[in-house]
Amino acid sequence: MDWKIELVAIPVTDVDRAKSFYVDQVGFHADHDYQVSETLRFVQLTPPGSACSIVLGTGITTMPPGSQKGVQCVVADAQAARQQLLANGVQASDVDVQPWGSFVTFSDPDGNTWSLQQLPSWAPANSPQP
């Protein structure tokens, strides 16, 4: 039986600011934005090419804003991804080259952190990572 991760909650203080950051600066696709009730707003965003989305909003999670650390996306080119982030006003780390891949990190306005990994040339694209 497959177990596929479909949705990851990202706790934020300002839903509109976070949505703008992820869509306009990082480049995620805005899938849904529903105000279900006064206490529940569901905003689903998907990174380009990803089968997994993120959700942010009100009434979504009890995690404190900024507490989601280390969500990781795989990219074809870490340097190009870094340049795209910088060009869109996102502060991103230098490329950190390790034997298991090249990494770029960044944070959203609330302090939730992300890691972008370029797989090493020897690793198959669908291999599990350590």
The CATH number covering residue 83 comes to 3.10.180.10
Identify whether 1 is part of a domain: no
Identify whether 39 is part of a domain: yes
Identify whether 2 is part of a domain: no
Per-residue model confidence (pLDDT) at position 88:
98
Number of structural domains, the chain?
1
Residue 109 has pLDDT above 60, yes or no: yes
Domain coverage including residue 57: 7-118
3-state secondary structure of 10: coil
Strand 101-107: give its sheet, edge to edge: 71-75, 113-118, 101-107, 96-98
115-125: pLDDT as tens digits = 999 999 876 66
For residues 11 and 92, what is the distance between their CA atoms, to the nearest angstrom? 20
Identify whether 80 is part of a domain: yes
Per-residue model confidence (pLDDT) at position 119:
96
Do 85 and 92 form a contact (C-beta atoms < 8 A)? yes
pTM: 0.91
Identify whether 105 is part of a domain: yes
Identify whether 101 is part of a domain: yes
Q: Which two tokens stand for residue 119?
A: 């797989």
Identify whether 128 is part of a domain: no
